[in-house]
A and B are shown apart, each in its own frame.
Chain A
């Protein structure tokens, strides 16, 4: 490992951990409604919004009402976004005169941004107007991140409350998530990004004559504003086709570092929010430790895999008397090099962001395997804004349940008794992701012409398909992007998988929140299972492995490709 890479890694880890406590303190204040220095400044806007919409912020909701509000919020969001995408040709801010999206592509894109997946079957600079990017996609970037956060907050309330029928007010939570957390962070990041070179203007293509007297048309747009929330909300839908590898989205190593930091900042802080709200910060740190352990082990593995030379290429080069030097740079940008490419890829798959700064399909096969694995875990290593924490808490519930059974006591977590109802909901929510991935991948393989959608032959082609359904089911949105999923079949199945993968986790989570909130907390005694120590963390990691590691599917894709790579002969 080179010294510079080691320092980049240490700098990242140190700064991320340093943000957890202050950010955790801040987010806790925001959602508990307590007073703090920023509140009076923003509260004016907040109360105006409540007045306009006639929301009574002090009235809390039952979990079923909470779900109803969440669904109707998404439904309105869908209608608005779908309409914008279908009508963009007639709307203003369309300097390059792009056409309307087709119905199936608009459906896929709208669901994709609604569910925080941000899978993109279109190319931003070819297919979308500035208005669609701004009023359509940027808005949903905020809303989908906020909806993830409020579900996490509602679940935390479930853990911390007793004998209450309510879990909070959906409208208040969403408004606060946007006004106090997502918007201020986005403003700060957007300004930093412009400073680093990300454009923010409304012009169409700019024509230049290059040094060799050729013509070049360079697309422009309001990139920085969208780029900021794309990262902070763990959305990942790029303004341009190639996302954060585009020099206009991610111009410098510093902008790359900030993006990596901001991708994880809310997810990491929410573990601390959890600890604070249930009155024991050690619980939050235990969860963060489990997340971070897996995340950094994966980073290490990818760093190792990616440094290995391609044996077939070496053989071919030797036959032609060519000597090549350096790591595999296909699909990577020079300014990021090895470390920043693998670390970004690891983070983006682990946090359910899905932004990419290098083409995932061109990494070494086993690196691709790690990315798939990160997603199969359900985006819980740090995880998406909100979705990471509630996904992880499902595994915490399972672990506490299994541990309780092993020692022969009523399973409980911090005084919350875990009974049939909670466990049923937890199992439903944790099994829905592997079920969606495996069933849709398997069924799609029956299509006789499926290889025509793949950009690569053999095992890698299978990986592309597996990656597609894994990425959509877990709300990630990154891709083995050679795969052509812009067909009516994949647009529609993709939309179905994204919607089910999001809602069939969120709804059970809110049901658990409601049922835990209604229960009386039992006192913690010496006989209670400690859930913050090393033993529990190891057990938690074990449970995550057993439930999420879809090894047979990985064996057919990246692992098979790895053996092809080390055993094959040159063409």
Chain B
């Protein structure tokens, strides 16, 4: 019995060091050498080297001149922890919330034509979804055009240029990265102070 315990502890120790220390250290080394940006969180920077956020993590946009992302339970100025809402399809809280969000969007986006895409009236799994569908981006065009004083056609063109296609034309869904397109917006059509 004592021998069995000794054997267990020794082999356990060997395998623990291999899988819990050597393996993650090796992966970190590879990541930091070959994929430095991704391994450190895929942050985007200004010309002065100031971080403006991670391209993978949604940030909240509320001002009229930006594309808005999907609704989220995570408040602004909070730690970007992931939480799911987990409401069921028969839950009245969910159903009422979807309708409220849709009404709010119609008020905010006067001049936009229905239908409203589902993704901008529901929360995502992580509440950190950095993407919206191209339809949702097009829905917001009249509002942004008004507030930036640009033509709607230019914005539609911008959406088309910034649509991320399916990987290999097969995998996933076409989508817009909200932070990415807003960075381009600021660059092409800066807001005059």
Contacts and interface: CB of A to CB of B under 8 A. Distances in A.
Interface of A: 4, 7-8, 11, 45, 48-49, 52-55, 68-69, 72-73, 76-77, 80, 123, 125-126, 134-136, 138-139, 142-143, 171, 174-175, 178-179, 183, 186-187, 190-191, 194-203, 205-206, 208-212, 214-220, 222, 224-226, 228-229, 240-242, 245-248, 251-254, 256-257, 310, 312-313, 316-317, 320, 322-337, 340, 356-359, 361-365, 455-460, 463, 480-483, 561, 564-565, 568, 570-571
A463 B80 CA distance: 29
Contact of A329 (B28, B61, B91, B118): B118
Contacts, number: 390
Contact of B95 (A209, A325, A482, A570): A570
User: Considering the complex of A and B, which 8 residue pairs feature the smallest CB-CB distances, nearest first?
Assistant: A253-B172, A245-B125, A482-B86, A337-B173, A460-B88, A53-B10, A326-B118, A325-B115
Interface string B130-153: 111101000000000000000000
21 contacts: A52-B11, A69-B8, A125-B82, A200-B32, A209-B50, A210-B53, A241-B84, A247-B58, A248-B41, A254-B172, A324-B117, A328-B89, A328-B118, A329-B118, A330-B85, A331-B86, A336-B173, A337-B172, A365-B90, A456-B87, A570-B95
Give the residue among B39, B83, B94 with the most A Cβ atoms within 10 A. Answer: B39
Interface residues of B, number: 104
A55 B87 contact: no
Contacts of B103: 320, 322
A241 B114 CA distance: 35
A330 B102 contact: no
Interface string B32-73: 101100111111000000111110111111110010001000
Nearest to A196: B38
A77 B116 contact: no
Contact of A330 (B8, B50, B123, B131): B123
Contacts of A358: 125
Contacts of B53: 208, 210-211, 216, 218
B126 interface: yes
B158 interface: no
Interface in B103-126: 103, 106, 114-119, 121-126
Interface of B: 4-12, 14-16, 18-21, 23-24, 26-28, 30-32, 34-35, 38-43, 50-54, 56-63, 66, 70, 76-92, 94-96, 98-99, 102-103, 106, 114-119, 121-133, 135, 166-167, 169-173, 175, 179, 182-183, 186
Nearest to B122: A330
Given A194-B39, A241-B83, A331-B86, A247 B130 contact: yes
B173 A253 contact: yes
Contacts of A11: 170-171
A326 to B, nearest CB: 4
Contacts of B91: 456-457, 460
